[in-house]
Amino acid sequence: MPTPAQRSRSFRKRRVATPGGKINIHYTKKKPAVPKCGSCGKRLHGVPRALPSDVKKLPKSRKRPERPYGGNLCPECARQKIRIKNMERWEND
């Protein structure tokens, strides 16, 4: 039987073959969802898919791309957004 804390849907069952020929079940925490672009839903690169406690240990530059909207928008959408912002800024001139 698993410990009560592990009797939860947020745990994944892993089958592990032991040296004695048995198959034991290990309980591991499930990974969070894949990071996606906020506007188009594309999968984001350069953003780790790990538990928040593990992500916290990483340096800032490994958590997201070093670009405006990095880690929130995909590069194409970010480019578009910067372009539109630039155009809006000079509209009144």
Give the nearest distance from C-beta 76 to other proteins in angstroms: 10
Q: Which long-range contacts (CB under 8 A, 24 or more apart) does 13-20 make?
A: none
Task: Give yes or no for residue 38 binding other proteins (CB under 8 A).
Answer: no
Task: Give yes or no for residue 32 binding other proteins (CB under 8 A).
Answer: no
Piece in contact with other proteins (CB under 8 A), picked from 13-21, 28-36, 48-56, 75-83: 75-83
Contact indicator for 11, 28 with CB cutoff of 8 Å = yes
Write the DSSP assignment of 18-49 as a string of letters.
-TTS-EEEEEEEPPPPPPB-TTT-PBPSS---
Give the interface with other proteins as residue ranges (CB under 8 A): 66-68, 75, 78-79, 82-83, 85-86, 89-90, 93
